[in-house]
Amino acid sequence: MQRLVIAAVAFGMMQGAAQAQDVGAGAALYDAHCATCHGLEGRGNGPMAPALMLQPPPLNDLTVRHGQFPVTRVVTRIDGRDPLVSHGSPMPVYGPFFEGDDTPLKAETGQPIMTSRAIVDLVAYLGVIQEQP
């Protein structure tokens, strides 16, 4: 019984943490680290885009393209667990930059995915800029 209570408390803590997202902090991180390639509005048209061999995809239509916001895919692309080739080399991996402060985020499956607070905030911002289907 004690294990069940501990598990329930831990789950409740994870749920609370997963919902504490700072969209403003995510917007600032996006502007500093993503907009150069993906554009200020997430349309894939940042000032570096013309110099890249492979054009960065828009990020404002992820929900439309995938049928739902692909939380797990976004997290793993940012932190490097799912490497991506962009301009002939891997997309910059921000996992090491955003390390620390492990925070659970509810994936589209409903299961928690562990990432950093910064990535949680960045994902929250990306969710806000999604075009509606």
Domains annotated on the chain, with CATH: 23-82+93-129 (1.10.760)
Could you report the per-residue pLDDT of 38-96, keeping only the tens digit for each?
Answer: 999 999 999 999 988 888 899 999 999 999 999 999 999 888 888 766 545 566 777 77
Q: Which helix (H) or strand (E) holds 18?
A: helix 2-19
Whether the model clears a pTM of 0.75, i.e. scores above it, the answer is yes
Taking the C-alpha atoms of residue 45 and residue 31, their distance in angstroms, rounded to an integer, is 13
What pLDDT is recorded for position 60? 98
Q: Which residue has the higher pLDDT, 85 or 36?
A: 36
**Residues contacting 79, CB < 8 A, separation 6+:** 93, 94, 95, 98, 115, 116, 119
Q: Which of 123, 129, 119 is nearest to 60 (CA)?
A: 129
pLDDT value, residue 92:
72
The proportion of the chain whose per-residue pLDDT surpasses 70, expressed as a percent, equals: 79
Kindly state the tokens that stand for 71: 């939380």
Q: Measuring CA to CA, how many Å separate 37 from each of 2, 40, 75, 87, 130?
A: 50, 9, 18, 10, 17
What pLDDT, on the 0 to 100 scale, is given for residue 84? 67
Cβ atoms of residues 103 and 117 within 8 Å: yes
